[in-house]
């Protein structure tokens, strides 16, 4: 039986800490941190996540602004919205909730956010700085996973960390962070993706297995090494007519079989998801305090 890595509890502890830091910052005359979120279209899951983010802002004493647009907004109009927020001195952080409708380029829109407000850590300046181990905004999901690993005192030094999935928002930054010289970090990393042959050969070698593919119950217990730490990032709504909401949430790892092998495992829900939200708040607080780019001149 594995120990549960409780993201809900850990996230609450982090939110409590953020709330304290906001109070202290404001007592010194600092501004109220302000997060803006852009939501395009009516995707149910995206609405849920954005609502969670807005609610979390309230909990820690941040201001939040949610800007909603219909799915047929043009790319040009959306870029203009981003530019207006870039120029708004009261707003410290901006996220554009993904996915976006197909006619809009995710890269174009997220790259238009100035790096100083890019609390999702998607801008090439932040990605590049993260890779070089310089101060940067780190993508909230990998950042949250690092905080969870830290909270549970999981040793990563010299461990074999296998990351499955190489997206810009999760898998790729996760692999860089686990490999870089830091704590948590200093792991030996293998990054697996769609073209990886014999995936289970790799997953079975993992001391730390981090899965972000978006396929419910993709990883079964027989693909996991005895005693491994299993971090399940995936979260998919699977239809279930017997439930009030009409769906259940499933991770990328089959919980029952993986839990038998793992030493530690994150549940879905209640694992990585809540950590993503509190990490986003943390990035926004750092922005309000002007910590990340304090001493740096940026080339825009």
Ligand X SMILES: Nc1nc(=O)c2c([nH]1)NC[C@@H]1CN(c3ccc(C(=O)N[C@@H](CCC(=O)O)C(=O)O)cc3)C=[N+]21
Contact partners, residue 115, CB within 8 Å, separation at least 6: 123, 125, 126, 137, 293, 298, 300
Has 107 been annotated as catalytic? no
Q: Binds 97, which of ligand NDP, ligand X, none (CB < 5 to 8 A, cut-off by type)?
A: ligand X
Has 53 been annotated as catalytic? yes
> What is the β-pairing status of strands 236-239 and 247-250?
antiparallel
Binding residues vs ligand X (CB under 6 A): 48-49, 52, 95-98, 120, 140-141, 235, 249, 268-270, 273-274, 276-277
Q: What are the Cα distances from residue 167, in Å, to 142, 214, 278?
A: 11, 11, 21
Catalytic residue (one of 6, 92, 120, 252): 120
Residue with Cβ nearer ligand NDP (115 or 165): 165
- Site track for ligand NDP across 160-199, x = CB under 6 A: ----xxxx-xxx--------------------xxx-x--x
173: closest CA among 279, 29, 287?
A: 279
Residue with Cβ nearer ligand NDP (76 or 239): 239
3-state secondary structure of 187: coil
270 labeled part of a ligand binding site? no
Catalytic residue (one of 6, 15, 92, 97): 97
Residue with Cβ nearer ligand NDP (8 or 23): 8
Q: Binds 236, which of ligand NDP, ligand X, none (CB < 5 to 8 A, cut-off by type)?
A: ligand NDP
3-state secondary structure of 152: coil
> Where do the H-state alpha helices sit in the chain?
7-27, 44-60, 75-86, 106-112, 124-131, 140-151, 171-179, 199-203, 255-261, 272-288
Among 82, 161, 213, 249, binds ligand NDP (CB under 6 A): 213
Shortest Cβ 23–ligand NDP spacing (Å): 27
Distance (Å, whole) CA 293 – CA 231: 31
Residue with Cβ nearer ligand NDP (78 or 212): 212
Structure token digits, residue 48: 């849920």
Contact footprint for ligand NDP (CB under 6 A): 141, 164-167, 169-171, 192-194, 196, 199, 212-214, 233-236, 272-273, 276
């Amino acid at each position: 039986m594995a120990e549960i890595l409780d993201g809900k509890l850990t996230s609450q502890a982090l939110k409590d800490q953020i709330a304290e830091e906001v109070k202290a910052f404001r007592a010194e005359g600092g501004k109220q941190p302000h997060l803006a979120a852009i939501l395009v279209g009516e995707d149910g899951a995206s609405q849920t996540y954005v609502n969670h983010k807005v609610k979390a802002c309230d909990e820690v004493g941040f201001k939040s602004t949610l800007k909603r647009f219909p799915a047929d907004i043009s790319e040009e109009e959306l870029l203009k919205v981003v530019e207006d927020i870039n120029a708004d001195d009261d707003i410290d952080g901006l996220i554009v909730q993904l996915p976006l409708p197909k006619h809009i380029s995710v890269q174009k829109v997220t790259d238009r956010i100035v790096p100083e407000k890019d609390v999702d850590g998607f801008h090439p300046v932040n990605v590049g700085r993260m890779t070089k181990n310089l101060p940067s905004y780190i993508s909230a999901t990998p950042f949250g996973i690092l905080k969870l690993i830290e909270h549970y005192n999981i040793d990563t030094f010299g461990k074999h960390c296998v990351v499955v999935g190489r997206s810009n928002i999760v898998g790729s930054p996760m692999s860089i962070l686990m490999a870089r010289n830091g704590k948590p970090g200093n792991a030996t990393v293998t990054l697996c993706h769609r073209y990886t042959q014999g995936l289970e050969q790799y997953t079975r070698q993992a001391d730390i297995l981090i899965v972000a593919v978006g396929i419910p119950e993709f990883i079964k217990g027989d693909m996991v090494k005895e005693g491994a730490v299993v971090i399940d990032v995936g979260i998919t709504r699977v239809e279930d007519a017997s439930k009030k909401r009409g769906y259940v949430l499933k991770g990328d790892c089959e919980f029952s079989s993986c839990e038998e092998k793992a030493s530690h495992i994150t549940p879905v829900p209640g694992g990585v998801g809540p950590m993503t939200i509190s990490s986003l708040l943390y990035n926004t607080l750092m922005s309000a305090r002007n910590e990340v780019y304090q001493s740096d001149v940026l080339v825009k």
